[in-house]
Amino acid sequence: MFSDSRTGPLSRSERQAKVQGSRQAALIERIGAALEKDIRINLHRFAIALSFDGADLVLAGNVEHIAAKKIALQLAAAIDPTLRIVDRLRVTPAATMGDREIRDHVIKALLEEPTLEHCLLSSRLPTELEKHRQAIPEPIGAIVVEVSDGVVTLNGEVPSLSHKRLAGVLAWWVPGCRDVINGLEEVPPQQDNDDELTDAVRLALEKDPFVNASKIRVRTKDWIVTLAGLVPNQTMKQMAERDGWYVLGVKEVVNRLQIKW
């Protein structure tokens, strides 16, 4: 029987809370060990705080790159698939930017993307709503951009999953971006699959001006993307892998790209 030396036997609710607390502490220890073991996360330089908010597991902190963020979330989910996970991980930005500057860069990228030229486009800051593209005769979709503390949120409707994923990748490419919350809905709804994901990753590689996608092969199975082929240097190999991670829905990127000197 659980008891407290000052008050005697614990009530049923107190016993349940004690058991729940012990279970949560054990889960935090197991998840922390899994994060520590994966060298891609680098907890020694980028600490991740684990805590429970009620029944929800919260992961918070700054991580080095998008791969570390997604891997940490997946490792936590793998320990206990029944857990509800709250993602408060933020990627360390490549450049320091204010929210307005990030917003302007995201809007510019979306305006210049031919695939999205028929989408209405507006942005929201705490004190203003600004329209950037309107008066389209027959618009196909509408995107609203919001930025808060370096986190870009995309809301609205787009005509396909490919449009949704591409918009998210374009937002991730802004150097000051710390996270992207992609709330865009494809209308009409589409059935997602590995082929759809492969096409989205291939499109991201082709759109990246710093990656030569012509010699990169993309294959997807069970949401795990494998990159193979030849790249000229380590930098492009790393950038191609990051592009894969930026695509919404990717669970893992296996980088088998080889460097051709």
Whether the pLDDT of residue 1 is over 50: the answer is no
Whether the pLDDT of residue 128 is over 80: the answer is no
Mean pLDDT computed over 55-65: 96
**Pick from 148, 141, 145: nearest CA to 132:** 145
Distance CA 139, CA 117 (A): 9
- Map out the domains of the chain as residue ranges: 3-91, 99-186, 194-259
Q: What is the pTM of this model?
A: 0.89
Mean pLDDT computed over 102-129: 92
Task: For 230-261, give the DSSP string.
Answer: EESSHHHHHHHHHHHHHSTT--EEEEEEEE--
Name the architecture of domain 3-91. Answer: 2-Layer Sandwich (3.30)
> 72-76, 90-94, 133-137, 237-241: which has the minimum mean pLDDT?
133-137
Q: Tell me, what's the pLDDT at 127?
A: 74
Burial of 119 (0-12, 13-18, 19+ CB in 10 A): buried
Please tell us whether the domain made up of 194-259 is placed in CATH 3.40.50.1000. no
Burial of 30 (0-12, 13-18, 19+ CB in 10 A): middle
Mean pLDDT computed over 180-202: 96
What six digits make up the tokens of 131? 């329209």
Q: Looking at the domain that runs over 99-186, which CATH code has it been given?
A: 3.30.70
Indicate the helix (H) or strand (E) that contains 21.
helix 12-37
